[in-house]
Structure 1
Amino acid sequence: MEQQASPRPAPSLVGRAAAPIAVALPVYNGLPYIEVALRSLLSQTGVDFELHIADNCSTDGTEELCSELARHDERVVYHRRPRNVGVTANHNRLVEEVDSPYFIWAAADDAYRPDRLAKLYEALRHRPDAVLSFSSATQIDSAGEEIGGWDDVCDTGHPDPVARLRDLMAKQHENYHCYGLFRREVLRRTQLLPPVKNNDRILIAELALYGPFVEVRERLLLHRLHERRLTQCTSQREWYRTQRTDDRKLVLPNVEEAGWYLRAVRRSPLPLVDRARAMLALSPWFRANAVPMARNVAKAALEGAKLAVGGRRRP
């Protein structure tokens, strides 16, 4: 990687345990896009940060690129997992592995405008009641060409937590809120990312119960849409099979997703009456997923019967 991405370490980091912002970049085989992502992250201006790279046992040259960068830039901390822990655990572990009060996940195939981090930081610092700041986004293709844009259609800044949740549940939207800047102390109080495919939506819905979000309506994120994205390549059932930590053989992805939403509401800091309202706010999701959940149960019953028959046949 060319060294102009990080001409020198940030002077204010010298002698400090942690910068105010931890940029967390989980990655597995990040080539060919990670170099662009790293260059844009290390070119951020007007803000003090550390970049923590969590390499989930890459085999494509990502390790060499990132470890070399860490040797030349004090802002960069490179972690290589001793084994592949899965994408969900790799994201979640980073939350506990840093010490900064502000936290942001960065994708290895995205890029930032140079002032994105500073603007998110200022927006969140000036709103002590808010738990997250996020920006609009430009969508780019595999070659980096602009192909669309994203602006928030949900009222995530509403003072009523149930209204925030209701909007996130009822409206059709892409969930780019998860690329925003979090107050880490609040993020740690959530379930983080559960082991289901739509885990980012569950996390953002839960976080909306803790406080409002601050929107910076500028397209400061360059979000890359390409065929190799994990969400495009992996089915819902396969995602759950590969991310779960237990040894259960039956998979009910939609039913499990429902359970995570319900737990998010039950664990929230809301008064009991507002928790009841929040349960009702989940209704649009449950209506949309009623048929898939019924199919989950039917398929699980069939698989369970086969397992039972197979067990009886064993000597």
Structure 2
Amino acid sequence: MSGPPPRVTICMPACEAETTLDRAIASVRAQTVGDWRLIVADDASGDGTWALAQAAAAADPRITALRQPARLGVMNFATGLERADTPFFVWLAADDYWGPRFLESCLNVLARDARAVSALPRCRWIGRIDGPRTDTLDGPVVQRMRRYLAAPGGTRMYGLMRTAIARAAFPRRAMNAYDWVLMTGILRAGPQIEIPEPMLFRDRTDPLRYAAAVEEFHRARLFRRFPVLAMSLAALRAGHVPLANLGDLAALNLRKHEEYLAVMHPGQFARRLRLFRALGLPIATMPGRGAEVAGQIARTDPARRAAAGRVLVRLARLGDGAAALELGHLRQAGLLRGDARAAFARAGELGLADGWFHAALAGGGDWPRIVGAAHRGSEAARAHLARSRDAGRLPAALADVTAYLLARR
């Protein structure tokens, strides 16, 4: 095929991706600019990924299919970068896809702004209307590094980059949060500019899986307990992080340490809860955050269920109404021992009207208490009253007050 030489190398790392690979490749072929080359790097998949990659390469001369002889994991991402001979480079995961103007928009941004080293459209989680943060990181290097280290995320590496800078910034060995090493190198070199239109659509991974993933990378206890310590040392050795940002890097390590303990060792997290609250760490201090993490663990992991329950008990004692409410639900479901009604009542005392409603149900469905919970603002109580009225189960004496409460919604 004749035409202009490619400006962009796209690397698509793929592993066991037979259900999504065609969609990702189709989104590349649908781009409004055609001067690209795509390298599909199959990481020794055991399903039909390799056959699909070969078929795509046979159908379009701009596509190359490569297969790793053995599983490389995150270092499979280096495959396309090492082979890139174009001025611009970008990754597209095999379970993600682009809008048609992704490349055109990113190329225009980098052509207009010689300082920028990466351009990234807004991202949406597939099947949802929300997405991760992709706001522009500009200004002095210390400022943009501080903003990045406050909320690194895993999406920023999927922006279009200047190839030489990306190659220099990519880590030489696998580690947990290897992409953060990459991004500190990118941001040390220049800004990343956000494009306001959503054009990157990603498959959302359960956030708790990231905390567990550290077990795959590090055997040493220290590097497991502090999951981004290896990444931090690598970024410092590479000269990516200015000395003025050491405090930001230390704060990031404390946050990830807290997250690791909360997910992998909730019993230890419970014992250190007061310390983590004193340090202002997010899972221990953000209302509802600790309850969300502990509740998810209790519902999905029997081995850590009791320890997660202790986290909820301690959070409830420290004034977290969401933790008390979740504790009540888990007790009511038989997943944790204890008095569900007492936990619901504690949630009510801490300001959650839904706590009073569930306490009333747990106490036998006392109608005056249910009405009282609805009056306090419990949407669950109001919904229960509405269903009971429609089903003819609502006592006649409560008809007028129920109508009044439902009219105030």
TM-score, scaled relative to structure 1: 0.74
Q: Determine which structure has the larger helix proportion and give its number.
A: 2
Q: Determine which structure has the larger strand proportion and give its number.
A: 1
**Which of the pair has more CA radius of gyration?**
2
1:156 correspondence with 2:137: yes
Report SS of the residue matched to 2:228: helix
Question: Higher RCO, 1 or 2 (CA under 8 Å, sep at least 6)?
Answer: 1
Report SS of the residue matched to 1:284: helix
Partner residue of 1:236? 213
Task: Note closer, same or farther for the CA distance 1:51–1:276 as it changes in structure 2 (3 Å cut).
Answer: same
Contact 1:27 1:54 survives alignment (8 Å): yes
Report SS of the residue matched to 2:168: coil
Aligned mates of 2:224, 2:59 — CA distance in 1: 44
Partner residue of 1:287? 254
| Corresponding residue to 2:51 among 31, 47, 64 | 64
Partner residue of 1:201? 180
Contact 1:240 1:251 survives alignment (8 Å): no
Deviation at 1:62, TM superposition (A): 1.1
Partner residue of 1:303? none
Report SS of the residue matched to 2:131: strand
1:90 correspondence with 2:76: yes
Deviates more, 1:287-296 or 1:251-260: 287-296
Superposition map of 1:103-118 within 5 A: 103-118=89-104
1:178 correspondence with 2:165: no
- AA partner of residue 217 (structure 2): Y
Partner residue of 2:228? 257
Contact 2:81 2:89 survives alignment (8 Å): yes
Report SS of the residue matched to 2:3: helix
Q: Where in structure 1 are there 5+ consecutive unaligned residues?
A: 1-8, 242-247, 297-315
Aligned mates of 2:107, 2:256 — CA distance in 1: 36
1:125-159 Cα offsets, whole Å, 9 max, x none, are 2211111110101211xxxx334234434x5122x
Deviation at 1:173, TM superposition (A): 6.0
Aligned mates of 1:234, 1:169 — CA distance in 2: 17
Aligned mates of 2:179, 2:214 — CA distance in 1: 16
Q: Where in structure 2 are there 5+ consecutive unaligned residues?
A: 265-409
Aligned mates of 1:213, 1:253 — CA distance in 2: 30
Contact 2:106 2:119 survives alignment (8 Å): yes
Report SS of the residue matched to 1:138: strand
1:40-80 Cα offsets, whole Å, 9 max, x none, are 11111124100101111112111111101111211100111
Partner residue of 1:4? none
Partner residue of 2:112? 126
Deviation at 1:254, TM superposition (A): 4.8
Contact 2:87 2:163 survives alignment (8 Å): yes
1:66-110 Cα offsets, whole Å, 9 max, x none, are 10111121110011112222x211002321122122110101111
Aligned mates of 1:286, 1:65 — CA distance in 2: 40
Superposition map of 1:139-150 within 5 A: 139-140=125-126, 145-150=127-132
Deviation at 1:168, TM superposition (A): 1.2
Aligned mates of 2:113, 2:203 — CA distance in 1: 29
Partner residue of 2:238? 267
Partner residue of 1:217? 196
Task: Note closer, same or farther for the CA distance 1:289–1:219 as it changes in structure 2 (3 Å cut).
Answer: closer
- AA partner of residue 254 (structure 2): R
Percent identity (aligned):
22
Aligned mates of 1:130, 1:293 — CA distance in 2: 34
Q: Let me know the Cα RMSD of the aligned residues.
A: 3.0
Partner residue of 1:12? 3
Aligned mates of 1:289, 1:58 — CA distance in 2: 31
Length, aligned pairs only:
264
1:165 correspondence with 2:142: no
